[in-house]
Chain A
Amino acid sequence: MNFTIGSLLAFSFAASLLAVIALIWAISTHQFRITESDARTVFEDDDEAGKLDDPTSPHSERLATQDPRLTRDWHRLLIVMFVTATAWLVFGSVFGVIASLKLHLPDWLTGSAPLTFGRMRTLHLNSVIYGFLSLGGIGTAMWLVPTLFKTPLRKPRLGLVGAAIWNLGLLAGVTAIARGWTDGLEWLEIPWQFDILLALGGACFAVPLLFTAAARRVNHIYVTGWYYMAGLVWFPALFIMANMPVHTGAQQATANWWFAHNVLGLWLTPLGLGAAYYFIPKIIGKPIYSYRLSLLGFWALALFYSQVGMHHLVGGPIPTWVVSLSIVQSVMMVVPVIAVAINQHTLSLGNLWAWRESLPLRFVALGAIMYTLASLQGSLEAVRAFSTVAHFTHYTVGHAHLGAYAFVALVLFGGIYYMLPRITGRAWPMPWAISLHFWLVVVGFAIYFFALTIGGWLQGLAMVDASREWLESMELTVPYLAGRSLGGTLMTLGHFVFAANLAVLFLGPRRHFEETPQAEETQSPRPAQESEA
């Protein structure tokens, strides 16, 4: 029995490996015949421009900079997505700060059960993952997918229904968690009754995007589209399978970590990478380095990632080969990460002027770099020799935030700063606040990450040393935990600044948004050199 499953999984590693090697062979021998014109997502004649500049429309003052295809419901949907995402971000980070403070001020706020650490931490996790990152990521997809496919978003009303269901489901879910009703599994705490609402809401998000993809007006799908389309397939499969009440005992733990890690790699990563793959070249105005690397990065992620999560169960009561396979797959993730890194960082680091010029790019490009660092760190952490020390310490928490926050959240911040003026036709009312937001979260996160990484490592060393009392491993982390609270507070302040900017954008006096005039003149940045294909 073990032998059969073990060989099946070993086979899956071999199959993934062969598939990637076959892909590289196919790419290098030009089995994929695309032409330069295919590789560009050709902009078709913009016959819809002006159509919506109807003076009777409520958006009659719409400017040329606002996407002319933007329909009223689509516009509304995007705003709902980003506003609710921001609200979840603010709530979630306040919970996070409270949970963090409790680690070194254990007697604070102990009066009522919902305020205890276990619930605060869980509220933080669910609010930021399913609230901010998921809603913000899907919102970005709902802008980018139609933009890339040169067609308006289809069925935006269904999306609005989805936003309502998702938000209500999540609200019900976090309320249940605050009241102590959970499914008892990390990342799957929301009771399954409310998970049904999330699944329904997710379906209402997926259908408009799939219809938009089906109605696309370009032949070649740009790499961002692959990640979004794949994420749309992966996440529902993960979420529904992991929530099925068929797993028990050690199997449940396996399914739990399979899900929890895949949420990062097969849901948040596609959302973040897809956005970064669009915004970095779009803002800089130069193409991504290599289509072939995009292919390799995407397919290697698809092939290697799904079995990564079980390295969390190292030393646990599951067969060793499950963990071993997971470790090997985790390390293989170096391949897609390097592919994506070369593609994105050669562009952003080769154009440092753009970092100075564009605040959204700062967020997105820095976030993309953090993806590379988080992933390489993750591959290292999966290795047994390393996890002997780092596992079960605050080190892991630092790593999780490097991936989910420094990568995905930063990319989303940049994306929202870029998109909202184009969606609303309004300029950001407080440009200085964007800069303030950037520095607060960057400095805050640096403090947070280094405090947890150093503190966690020392904690791990103390725990594996049998001659030291276990309590010592706790006590030595206290100053680092205080540092983490400081960093977390700075990040949360940044989020308040972000939310305030957003509020003034919508509620304050209107300031029109215009593209820089010289941008129009210096057109056709297409490189002259012909591609070899």
Chain B
Amino acid sequence: MTQRPSKRSRPGSVAGIRYRNFDPYEAYNPIPWQVTAILLALAVWGTVALLTDSQLAEPPPQIGEEAEQAAVEAASSPSVNGQRLFTAYCSTCHQANGAGVKGAVPPLNGSHYVLADAEVPVNILLHGLDGEIEVSGSVYNGRMPTFGHQLSDEQIAAILTHVRGQWDNQAAGIEPDFVAEQRERFSGRVSPWEGGKALEDAFGVADTASPAPSEEDS
């Protein structure tokens, strides 16, 4: 408020107010029906969204007989199990089609590490990777998690059998016993492999995969 009301120019009321003794209160008007309609519409949408999202994101947990049946199924055809495990543990980064993410995550499809002697992919899964690695002509420098503590020999074997036989890959499957052997072989190892160089030192798999086929498959 300026000093003299007569001198007030617009905006006239600097700290202004219309009625000095007015105290704010609320009238008692009804809630417009549109608000209730929006609420109900959103409630329906929310319920549907939650239901569909939960189906998309993860297979519903199986209990009792159903679970047993699924376990039997999984045991009789490991590829089903491998596919599921791959989706759960690997596909977020390596993508469902095994193509990886350009510049960030190496591809699995056609990777000479995946197709190398079984000991190479098994040990990558068991211990993880941390450092530079060249796959299909591109250099990656990321961190592959260590799955040795999290996954059993059977699960690792199933995942790798799946990955090595999927897409364009045509390498032999891997048995759980072999994974157990490898687990024993490097049982002293506590850190991930330090990139392609460490893998070359340990397994003789070529560090720089030039376009020329360096391993059993190209």
Contact = CB atoms under 8 A, between A and B. Distances in A.
Given A278-B24, A282-B24, A359 B13 contact: yes
A358 B38 contact: no
A6 B25 CA distance: 42
Interface in A286-321: 287-294, 296, 300, 319-321
B17 A283 contact: yes
B25 A356 contact: no
Contacts of A71: none
A24 B3 contact: no
B65 interface: no
A247 interface: no
A85 B74 CA distance: 64
Given A331-B46, A335-B35, A519 B27 contact: no
Interface stretch (A33-41, A97-105, A170-178, A230-238): A33-41
Contact of B102 (A41, A290, A466): A466
Given A283-B17, A331-B42, A418-B15, A325 B50 contact: yes
A13 interface: yes
B31 A24 contact: yes
Interface string A120-147: 0000000000000000000000000000
Contact of B2 (A327, A332, A427): A427
B188 interface: no
Contact of A28 (B1, B30, B45, B49): B30
B14 A431 contact: yes
Interface stretch (A154-162, A403-411, A488-496, A507-515): A507-515
B39 A20 contact: yes
A57 interface: no
B20 interface: yes
Given A41-B25, A292-B28, A293-B31, A321 B15 contact: no
A351 to B, nearest CB: 9
B5 A517 contact: yes
A99 B22 CA distance: 45
Given A418-B15, A421-B15, A516-B1, A17 B54 contact: no
A39 B28 contact: yes
A85 to B, nearest CB: 18
B76 interface: no
A239 B84 CA distance: 40
A17 B36 CA distance: 12
Contacts of A357: 10-13, 16
Contacts of A24: 31, 36, 39
A292 B31 contact: yes
Interface string A1-17: 01100100010010001
A516 B13 contact: yes
B19 A523 contact: yes
Interface in B56-74: 56-58, 61
Given A357-B12, A427-B15, A287 B27 contact: yes
Contacts of B1: 421, 427-428, 431, 513-516
A84 interface: no
A435 B11 contact: yes
A284 interface: yes
Contacts of B17: 282-283, 285, 358, 418, 515-516, 519
Contacts of A523: 19, 21
A533 B23 contact: no
A470 interface: yes
B15 A360 contact: yes
Contacts of B38: 334-335, 338
B216 interface: no
A288 B11 CA distance: 24
A374 interface: no
B103 interface: yes
Contacts of B53: 320-321, 324
B49 to A, nearest CB: 6
Nearest to A362: B11
A54 to B, nearest CB: 23
Measured as residues with beta carbon below 8 angstroms from the partner, the interface class of chain A is 35 or more
B27 to A, nearest CB: 5
B28 A36 contact: yes
A31 interface: no
A39 B35 contact: no
Interface in A402-454: 417-418, 420-422, 427-428, 431, 434-435
Interface in A201-232: 222-224
B28 A531 contact: yes
Contacts of A520: 20
B26 interface: yes
Contacts of A56: none
B57 A324 contact: yes
B98 to A, nearest CB: 16
Contact of B14 (A10, A428, A512): A428
Contact of A321 (B13, B45, B54): B54
B75 interface: no
B12 to A, nearest CB: 6
B43 interface: yes
B29 interface: yes
Interface in A441-480: 466, 470
B46 A222 contact: no
Nearest to A20: B39
A13 B50 contact: yes
Which one of B2, B18, B29 has the highest number of Cβ atoms from chain A below 10 Å of its Cβ?
B18
Contacts of B24: 41, 222, 224, 277-278, 280-282, 287-288
Interface in A354-368: 354, 356-362
A525 B18 contact: yes
Given A2-B61, A294-B26, 15 more contacts: A65-B20, A223-B26, A283-B17, A284-B18, A290-B27, A292-B28, A319-B58, A334-B38, A356-B11, A357-B10, A427-B3, A428-B15, A511-B3, A516-B17, A523-B21
The 10 A-B pairs of least Cβ separation, nearest first, read: A320-B57, A285-B18, A531-B28, A291-B26, A281-B24, A290-B29, A324-B53, A358-B16, A328-B46, A40-B25
26 contacts: A24-B36, A24-B39, A28-B30, A39-B27, A43-B21, A285-B22, A290-B28, A293-B31, A293-B35, A321-B54, A324-B53, A327-B49, A334-B38, A334-B42, A356-B11, A357-B10, A358-B13, A358-B17, A359-B11, A359-B16, A360-B14, A431-B2, A516-B16, A516-B17, A523-B19, A525-B19
Interface of A: 2-3, 6, 10, 13, 17, 20-21, 24, 27-28, 34, 36, 39-43, 65, 148, 222-224, 277-278, 280-285, 287-294, 296, 300, 319-321, 324-325, 327-328, 331-332, 334-335, 338-339, 342-343, 354, 356-362, 417-418, 420-422, 427-428, 431, 434-435, 466, 470, 511-520, 522-523, 525, 527, 531-533
